[in-house]
Structure 1
Amino acid sequence: MEAILAVIGVGIGALSGFFGIGGGTVLVPILLLLGFDFKHAVGISIMQMVFSSVYGSWLNIRKGSLELGEGLFVGFGGFAGGYISGYITPFIPDRVLQFVFIGFVLFALVRMATSQAHGEESETRSLSKALLFAIGMGIGIIAISIGVGGAIILIPILSGLLHYPVKRAVSAGLFFVVFSSVAGLLGRLVHGEIDLMNGAILGAGSLLGVWIGIWLKEHVSNKQHKNFIVGMYTIILAIMVYKMFFTH
């Protein structure tokens, strides 16, 4: 099982670097298929996200594709929301969390499919710092409760509503995951809901994968990148629907 998890970690890390997600949107369904229950899968996913998001954001800063700016306010909101989620999740049934998960993947799919792939020359819109913090906190509460970093929700907002170039939105999304996943990890450590061994194995594998994913991101066009993101969301949605309604 350890070798399988390490290989999965490399794959999830590559997806994190390329799509700007923490990886939970893909990892949670895979762990469910491997026999983990939902809340253990969420805990392992959160730990892996800490590894991939911290390393990936550092790489993006070095490459000049991540500007901190407004992302800090969204990130601090995500940290607060991610920590709060640790006090909410134990009281919510797995089935409800799974429906929430599907709902947000569907939102992301529709938002990305109907938005333009903005280039670097596009003019981005700005929001107040308080509103950015509130958006981050709301995303953090919901996302960490379902085992994702929140980028799957944030990237469509940045690209579709605020006109961020796709690659900048992806880098900002992964940076957001740093805050939400670290907060989520702290909250679950308090409640003893983290499988440290399996989380560390996946996290270590994801470090190599993140480097690969970010390298690939720099070698595709904005339109191609957007199409890949839409395709990924479609696959994730299909896996979760299959798991919930066609397996027992």
Structure 2
Amino acid sequence: MVGEFGLIMFDNMPMMAIITAFIIFVLIGMGIGFVSGFFGIGGGTILVPILLNLGFDIKSAIGISVLQMFMGALFGSYVNYKNKKLVLNDGIIVGIGGLAGASFSGLIVANTPSIVLKLVVLFMLLVAIIKFFKADVQNTNPKEISKPIMFGVGVFVGAIAISVGLGGALFLTPIFVGFLKMDIKKAVSIGLFFVVFSSFAGLISLANADLVDYKTGLMIGIGSIIGVYFGVKVGHRANKQIQKKLALGLYIIMFILMIKNIVF
């Protein structure tokens, strides 16, 4: 079974089993990478449950997910930049804000009951869904956002998202598009670039704690690089209204899963 692999997956395994595992993990990575590139998210909220269902423990799943997010987001952001879809200066400002916000996550987690954190995320998702639903993504004159506001958004999202184990990009697009009237294509590219910063910080922390399964993570990461390339390309060509509807569907699913997590 796949769930029996993980940190010791190559020990005493026949070559056919190793090849099978490689194919399975690469295919998983391709699927996660496509979703990541298309929506501008890290993909950890999807990958972690998949790995848990394959038999990995939560700590291994998170470590693998963070490595996959970093590899996929880094390459996807490069593709966005080469296609002139990523404004690097804006992305760096939001990303540094995210790192600053994430530095408060330990204090937040230590002093806030877990149920309160979950309810905050639930509320943020609900507000994001409502604002994003009302947003005019066909707006031909999107607003320019000041650098301090972009930094502040990064700080806010980094502090909240990292405190509940999320990369943060899931919140950025609704905030930028729904509240700040940014063009959805720009918001998606900045969201993916934000993941580079948040996942890099998480990767260092988890690696120092020896919680990263590099073998599995690299296989899924390779698939993620392939998938994110096509996800980004399809996202560039997708109609903005269709992209908005699909993103709304993703946020609604996450909202339902969060309610399930709180109730059960």
**Fold in common (TM above 0.5):** yes
**Alpha-carbon distance between aligned partners in 1 of 2:109 and 2:79, rounded to the nearest angstrom:** 32
Identical residues among aligned pairs (%): 41
Determine the structure 1 residue equivalent to 2:83. Answer: 63
Query: Which residue in the other structure is 1:19 paired with?
Result: 39
- Matched residue, 2:5: none
Match of 2:247 among 226, 229, 242: 229
1:17·1:213 contact (CA, 8 Å) conserved in 2?
A: yes
Match of 1:198 in 2: 216
Is the counterpart of residue 169 in structure 1 residue 148 in structure 2? no
Q: What is the distance in 2 between the residues matched to 1:87 and 1:35? A: 32
Q: Deviation at 1:14?
A: 0.1
C-alpha distance in 2, partners of 1:39/1:114? 38
Counterpart in the other structure of 2:203: 185
Q: Distance in 1 between matches of 2:59 and 2:110?
A: 9
Q: Which amino acid aligns with 1:26?
A: I
CA distance in 2, matches of 1:86, 1:8: 31
Per-residue CA distance 1:36-87 (angstroms, 9 max, x = gap)? 4444433322111101110000000111111123222111121333466478
- Checking the alignment, whether the CA contact within 8 Å between 2:90 and 2:190 is kept in structure 1 is no
Conserved 8 A contact 1:111-1:156: yes
Find the aligned partners of 2:185 and 2:63 in 1 and give their Cα distance: 28
Q: 1:88 to 1:188 in 2, by over 3 A?
A: farther
Listed one character per residue, the Cα deviations across residues 127-147 of structure 1 (whole Å, up to 9, x for unaligned) are 343x43333123223323444
Shift of 1:88: 7.0
The structural deviation recorded for 1:169 is 0.8
Q: What's the RMSD between the two structures over aligned residues? A: 2.8
**Larger Rg, first or second structure (1 or 2):** 2
Task: State the TM-score, normalizing by the size of structure 2.
Answer: 0.79
More displaced 10-residue stretch of structure 1: 236-245 or 40-49: 236-245
What's the counterpart of residue 34 of structure 1? 54
Aligned residue for 1:218, secondary structure, equals: helix
What secondary structure does 2:237 align onto?
Answer: coil
Asked if 1:47 is matched to 2:67, the reply is yes
> CA offset at residue 189 of structure 1?
1.9
Number of residue pairs the alignment of both structures matches:
244
Q: Distance in 1 between matches of 2:163 and 2:61?
A: 11
**Partner letter of residue 78 of structure 1?**
G
Q: Which runs of 5+ in 2 are unaligned?
A: 3-20
Q: CA deviation at 1:237?
A: 3.3
**Which stretch of the first structure deviates more once superposed, 86-95 or 97-106?**
86-95
Q: Secondary structure at the match of 2:154?
A: helix
Instruction: Give 1:25's aligned amino acid.
Output: T
Unaligned runs of 5+ in 1: none
Q: Deviations over 1:68-112 (max 9, x none)?
A: 232221111213334664787699888777666555444433332
Residue of structure 2 in register with 1:220 after alignment = 238
For 1:13, the aligned partner's letter is G
Code of the residue aligned with 2:46 in structure 1: it is V
State the alpha-carbon separation in 1 of the partners of residues 93 and 227 from structure 2.
Answer: 28
Distance (whole Å) between structure 2 residues aligned to residue 48 and residue 89 of structure 1: 25
Q: TM-score, normalised by structure 1?
A: 0.83
